[in-house]
Copies of this chain bind each other. A is one copy, B any other.
Amino acid sequence: MTDASTVPDERETYSYLGPAGTFTEAALSQVEAAEEQIWRPVSNVGEALADVTSGRSVAAMIAIENSIEGGVTASQDALATIPGLRIAGEYEVAISFSLVVRPGTRLEDVRTVSAHPVAYGQCRRWLHVNVPGHEHVVANSNISSVNALFDERGDIDAAIAPRGVEDRFDVSVLGESIQDNKTARTRFALVSLSRELPARTGADKTSLIVELPEEFPGSLMVMLEQFATRGVNLSMITSRPLPDRIGSYRFVLDLDGHIDDARVADALLGLRRFSPHVIFLGSYPRADRKPVVVDPKWGDEHFGEAVDWLSSLRG
């Protein structure tokens, strides 16, 4: 793990929502290929994706669901409008915050708490009970809150920061897992321009963005038939209004399986014939590595058997 330097460098660059210490960085730390490479902190999704399209970075890590660091809708819209982007992998990070202080500070001494507004909102209940009467001082990120502890002008007593921040800073932890929701996780995607498809693992996901061809009741259902009729399960669907056509929508979809699965490939063919605009964002291993369970009747073998049968009919 290292920062960008000015000397010539053969390493590749990965952009992420910084600074170092964010949950997005925690997601990036799960990427094997990124080890020993340059990690470039940026301040929002647009910047991260611009790094990729300009060639400055080989890939960017962006939040795609449930992010407390923001950017999900921006991510979806960016993927729909910036051509050529592909998702190379999915990563999940458990969202967990600690209250940290300069060594020696006791909980009863805490008067001011530095925190990013969203993180602060997530820890309200714990703070109400454990640090009653404190004052919230706004921080720009989940890491700059910690930096504020060491600001010499500062009067910050404590900071809310991602779990593990004590490995990076000389701080003591006064509270762990202090967020209201103990099970929250954020999903991230590693995005690049590479056309190389991650190999099929049996625990894969495929992401698509699809526009409906017409506005009529049932049009969405016709789209979904493309999946149902081939036994392809969806794990996420979100409609997004098209900015330039009132009453028209694009759909952001995640489906179980890999483009190299016969049923997924066949569903993609059906979608393409149905929709004026299908964006294939990639097939990649699921973050949870849980194998996709498929009834044998939707398996490759069954698809192949049907193809053989069709050939036999034609003699």
* Interface, chain A (partner B; CB < 8 A): 43-44, 46-47, 66, 70, 72-73, 116-118, 121, 124, 136, 138-141, 144, 183, 195-197, 215-218, 220-222, 224-239, 241, 243, 247, 259-260, 265-266, 268-270, 272-274, 280, 297-298, 302-303, 305-307, 309-310, 313-315
Q: Are B140 and A272 touching (Cβ within 8 A)? A: no
A125 to B237, CA, bound (A): 31
- The listed residue (B217, B280, B303) touching A227 by CB distance below 8 A is B217
Of the residues B136, B140, B234, contact of A136 by C-beta under 8 Å? B140
Known pairs A44-B124, A237-B238, A237-B239. 8 more at Cβ < 8 A? A43-B121, A196-B315, A218-B227, A220-B234, A224-B224, A226-B229, A265-B310, A268-B313
When the two chains form the complex, which single residue of B117, B124, B216, B303 contacts A273, counting CB atoms closer than 8 Å?
B303
B239 x A234 contact (CB < 8 A): yes
Residues of chain B contacted by A124 (CB below 8 angstroms): 43-44, 46-47
Residue picked from A72, A217, A235, most chain B C-beta under 10 Å = A217
- Minimum CB–CB distance from A154 to chain B (whole Å) comes to 13
B-side contacts of A272, CB under 8 Å: 305-306, 309-310
Distance in Å from the Cβ of A133 to the closest Cβ of chain B?
Answer: 16
Q: Are B231 and A310 in contact (CB under 8 A)?
A: no
By the criterion CB–CB under 8 Å, are A221 and B218 in contact? no
| Cβ A195 vs Cβ B306 within 8 A | no
A220 cross-chain contacts in B, Cβ below 8 A: 224, 228, 234, 237
Among B144, B237, B247, point to the contact of A237 (Cβ < 8 A). Answer: B237
Chain B's closest residue to A117 (CB) is B140
Given contacts A73-B66, A302-B273, contact A239 B239 (CB under 8 A): no
Chain B residue with minimal CB distance to A303? B273
Find A306's partner among B72, B234, B273, B298 (CB 8 Å cutoff). B273
For A224, what are the chain B residues with a Cβ–Cβ distance below 8 Å? Answer: 218, 220-221, 224
Closest to A308 in B: B272
Contact of A217 among B73, B140, B216, B233 (CB under 8 A): B233
Contact of A218 among B46, B228, B236, B260 (CB under 8 A): B228
Most buried by B among A116, A272, A297: A272
User: Could you tell me the distance between the alpha carbons of A168 and B268 in the complex, rounded to whole angstroms?
Assistant: 54
Q: Is the CB of A313 within 8 A of B227?
A: no
CA distance A215 to B235 in the complex (A): 10
| 22 A-B residue pairings within 8 Å (CB atoms) | A46-B121, A47-B124, A70-B70, A70-B118, A116-B117, A138-B140, A196-B315, A197-B314, A218-B227, A218-B228, A220-B224, A225-B225, A229-B229, A237-B237, A237-B239, A238-B238, A259-B314, A269-B307, A272-B305, A273-B302, A273-B306, A280-B313
